[in-house]
Amino acid sequence: MPIAVDIDVMLARRKMSVGELAERVGITPANLAVLKNGRAKAVRFSTLAALCEVLDCQPGDLLRWEAADEPDELPTQDAPVAT
């Protein structure tokens, strides 16, 4: 997935457990684990805002974009012929 989740990094910086974060954000530890491990398909802005508030960080501290692996060879397209 091109979006990487760095919640565990912020948890370590804040010396906070997953259980404590889940309780303070108001979500279950299981749902937080799904998000933290990058298995979530979506995240509500209200949840993201609560995470940022509790962890005192910005959304970019929790989520980052990673480029997908590029294929070895890019497909070529036939160039238009000038007439």
Tell me what pLDDT residue 47 has.
97
Q: Are 12 and 1 in contact (CB under 8 A)?
A: no
Rounded Cα distance, 73 and 9, in Å: 35
- Name the percent of the chain lying above pLDDT 90: 77
The structure's pTM equals 0.78
pLDDT in tens, 25-57: 999 999 999 999 999 999 999 999 999 999 999
Pair of tokens at residue 40: 């979530």
What sign has the CA pseudo-torsion 43, 39, 4, 41?
A: negative
